[in-house]
Amino acid sequence: MTRTDPSELLSLEPAGPGRYLVPMPPGSQEGGNVVFGGQLMAQMIMASAAESDGSKYVKTMHTIFSRAGSYAEPVHLQVEPFHTGRSWASELITAWQGERLLARALALLTSDEPDLVAHQIVRPSDVSGPEAGETARGIVFPGAEARTVKMPSETSDGVPVMCFWTRMPGPARSLPASQAMLAWATNGWLIELSMRPHRDTVRIEDAHRSLSTGVIAQTLNFHREFDAGSWILVSQEATFAGKGRVHGRGAAYTEDGTLVATFSQDSMVRPGGRGTHSPL
């Protein structure tokens, strides 16, 4: 089920109780024949929404990628609820390709409640706005804009940092769709960012050739409602590199500085040319 209209990538096809067939883009944004992890996270959020009565939305989702998926075969998602209460719910969402388990996510859902207390980390204030940026190189939701950000330094506290702006051409149709579009945009940048201080040793161009790279796990936390059709600033840092692993974290803000999401990611960068999202 290949779709060329980007918005249709979030339209899942029911395939049984709690089970959905996911639409596929024409090919991988990374190149090759490996299903992008950000796509699976985005579609898992939509599968969760499809199983919900609308009273709750994804608060946190932790996804582990165990095997590489191919664009040559159908991918199904299975949603398994294991707790539902008035304020919270939780479920397992598994991506299958035939009998192969590709990824599994643990999702925590929440109802909407008013603020009793409120605070947040502050959006970087010394970065340029979207109107000053140029088209950014990197993976965002298909059809979305991405723009570079001018920053005072490429490092902070000794680690590489970067920001980019992204938005869809028009309003997203729902909060789950906005969450899915942002999830897609957070998955594909941190490995390259972690390599920047080590250009004499590793290059992103060598990924899947002389280097084995891939996202192994990612945690997304959503904090407030937002519309992916408005500019979102994604700020991120490559917190750690060593022992064949890299770890990074980031935050997403609206243009007025409201924190809407945070995320962290564990990946591998080691010698070898094995495919993305294939740790086994």
Q: What is the pTM of this model?
A: 0.93
The answer to whether position 1 is within a domain reads no
| 128 phi and psi angles, rounded to 5 deg | -75, 155
The answer to whether position 278 is within a domain reads no
CA distances from 165 to 108, 131, 232, 261 (A): 27, 10, 6, 14
Instruction: Please count the structural domains in the chain.
Output: 1
The answer to whether position 244 is within a domain reads yes
Residues, the chain: 280
* Structural domain containing residue 101: 6-112+122-271
pLDDT along the chain (280 residues), means of 10: 76 97 86 89 97 93 95 95 94 97 98 97 94 93 96 91 97 96 97 92 77 93 98 97 96 98 96 54
**What SS3 state is found at 43?**
helix
The answer to whether position 140 is within a domain reads yes
Per-residue pLDDT of 199-233, as tens digits, reads: 888 877 777 677 888 999 999 999 999 999 999 99
Give CA angle at 18 (12, 23), nearest 5°: 20
Return d(Cα 141, Cα 25) in angstroms, integer.
11
Instruction: Name the one residue in this structure whose structure tokens are 């035939």.
Output: 98
Q: Where residue 33 sits, what CATH number does that domain have?
A: 2.40.160.210
Strand partners, 84: 89
The answer to whether position 280 is within a domain reads no
Give 173's DSSP letter: S
Structure tokens at 115: 């603020």
Per-residue pLDDT of 138-171, as tens digits, reads: 999 999 999 999 998 899 989 999 999 999 999 9
**What SS3 state is found at 105?**
strand
The answer to whether position 172 is within a domain reads yes
Structure tokens at 246: 């890299």
